[in-house]
Amino acid sequence: MTAGRRASSSDVPSAEATTLAVEDFEAAARQRLPRMVFDYYAGGAGEETTLRENRRAYDRWVIRPRVLVDVSTVDLRTTVLGQDVPFPILLAPTAFQRLAHRLGEVATAQGAASVGALMVVSTISTASLEEIAGTGVRRWFQLYVLTDRDLTAELVKRAHAAGYGAIVLTVDTPVLGRRLRDERNRFSLPPGIGLANLAGAGLPTAEGSALFSFFVDRIDPSLDWEDVAWLRSLTPLPLVLKGIVTEEDARLAVEAGVDAIVVSNHGGRQLDGAPATLDVLPEVVAAADGRAEVLLDGGIRRGSDVFKALALGARAVLVGRPYLWGLAAGGPEGVRRVLEILRDDLALTMALAGRAGVPAIDRSAVAPAPRDPDRGEDT
């Protein structure tokens, strides 16, 4: 802008001009959200080593671009569990979204529906699974098995009746990991926000994290492989296991007849010291051996991350924190914009890498990154 000239509205950057990447939405959310809420969304377990490694893992791979490939049209369409999706990026289940926006999960669903994305809805959401279904978003239901097995069965049947396309059983949370940020902030839900799928129940009063106390009281730590058959008996919907990071458990999952696996360490929020999800993706894919689809979450922040995950065998990826930042910064429009950024960045990466369609993104598209001699480790 020329010195001395009064600023006009055309000089003010638009929201889209100032939010060009996921990190921009994270910065906006940090400014808008109370510290307790931001820390709940952003934080991990323990010293947050696994949380950091989820991001660093993508730097351990480079893309091998091919040239003189016709990329005048780049096709991001694929299928997940036989369902057509416009691009291989799904919304991971995240809890308590009304802490970020007054409409919570309903606003997220509206944003996701506007670009045709598939949303996985959490058991401990702050809008009911029926309310979310009313938006028309394409949807799966994430399930925690409660100590009250009758209530658990009721949740599964409600999801089936409300048109959810799959049940996603979280298997890495027999107890809640120790999240120091939540303990220091004495995390709890404010008045007026409850667990909508559990008759509006709130979190118990606790000295530290109220969520930790909730898991102690309500989530069943005895869940084991025999319960997979019980869940299958409740509904004909496809069954997905979320939270697998080893080839041993991947083999057990396919032997149990599950339809898909999500390679996940709960966003670094459970066992600190667990491996980064991208690091273990190849071994899980090999163990599944085509008998179950493999998806991945953890650390996705740009289209090149998605590309690397697909190249290493993921059918699709799920994102959590990125769309929460969009929700906090701009409601449904913020969610839509985050998904568009990731989608468009994936399309650009595919074009520059010479891969015109998702099926063309194979193992030959990536290679381990060269070692950094100054650090003595992979970067």
Given 98, 101, 242, 266, the catalytic residue: 266
How do residues 55-105 score in pLDDT, each as one tens digit? 999 999 999 999 999 999 999 999 999 999 999 999 999 999 999 999 999
CB 239 within 8 A of CB 167: yes
Residue 322, pLDDT > 60, answer yes
pLDDT of 372: 72
How do residues 333-369 score in pLDDT, each as one tens digit? 999 999 999 999 999 999 999 999 999 999 999 999 9
Give the mean model confidence (pLDDT) for residues 290-314: 98
Q: What are phi and psi of 167, to 5 degrees?
A: -105, 125
How do residues 105-158 score in pLDDT, each as one tens digit? 999 999 999 999 999 999 999 999 999 999 999 999 999 999 999 999 999 999
Q: How many helices (H) and strands (E) does the chain have?
A: 14, 14
How do residues 199-212 score in pLDDT, each as one tens digit? 866 666 555 566 66
CATH second-level architecture of 19-368? Alpha-Beta Barrel (3.20)
Known catalytic residue: 266?
A: yes
What residue ranges in 177-232 does DSSP mark as E strands?
none
Q: Which residue has the higher pLDDT, 329 or 16?
A: 329
Give the largest Cα separation in the chain, rounded.
74
CB 260 within 8 A of CB 251: no
* pTM (whole model) above 0.85: yes
Percent of the chain clearing pLDDT 90 (strictly above): 85
pLDDT of 8: 40
324: part of which helix (H) or strand (E)? helix 321-353
Q: Which long-range contacts (CB under 8 A, 24 or more apart) does 245-252 make?
A: 245/172, 245/274, 245/275, 245/277, 245/280, 245/284, 246/280, 246/283, 246/284, 247/283, 247/284, 247/286, 247/287, 248/287, 250/283, 250/284, 250/287, 250/288, 250/292, 250/294, 251/287, 252/225
